[in-house]
Amino acid sequence: MNYGDELQRGIAQLGIALDAEAQRKLLDYLALLHKWNKVYNLTAIRDPQQMVSHHLLDSLAVLPHLWAGRWLDVGCGAGLPGVVLAIARPGWRFELLDSNSKKTSFVQQAVIELGLKNVSVHCARVEEWQPSEKFDGIISRAFTDLGDFLRITRHLMAEQGRWAAMKGLAERELAGVPDGCQVERIIPLQVPGLHAARSLVIATCPMAEH
């Protein structure tokens, strides 16, 4: 199976421009994930072909709706979506955070092997983490429900920053959005090869304390 062809097709369907080097790095990341997964159980998906759609393309699908700046990926797990986005946008800065040291060890190794200069990896609980700079965007994929995501990361968001929550069906979580926060839009996503509901929630908390 040529995963490169499948990735290329998916990227074209998403309408994203990625050069040959970025595509090569995505496939290198996929190979690392598949190799480490055998020992460290980083993701429930074992099949590399499934990883193309469920991990790479699922992460890339949000790209057209994001903005340049300093990003935090909370609960990054095996580096999704943070590593994928960092490969696709080398001019943006990404900090990847997870409390699971097994997963951050893998991500750190992947960052080194892929030569990603725009990524830093941190092992900590988000509630206790106090970086020196705040973020223009905070993203998560399957981390926690929308309300909790906004609540526990508010101290990390820059004044004009916005959240980007990757969800399945987002509507059921809207009731939990904290006071002072608002959902700007819910963007339905079509991920090539993935037959499941996907959406991206963009939210702001203008009354957040800074």
> 74 among the known binding-site residues?
no
Measured between alpha carbons, how far is 108 from 130 in angstroms, rounded to an integer?
20
Measured between alpha carbons, how far is 139 from 142 in angstroms, rounded to an integer?
10
Closest CA to 74 of 114, 125, 119, 32: 125
> 39 among the known binding-site residues?
no
Closest CA to 181 of 147, 137, 156, 142: 147
The residue count of the chain comes to 210
> 80 among the known binding-site residues?
yes
> 127 among the known binding-site residues?
yes
Binding site membership for S-adenosyl-L-methionine: which residues?
75, 80, 126-127, 141
Q: Binding site: what residues are annotated? A: 75, 80, 126-127, 141
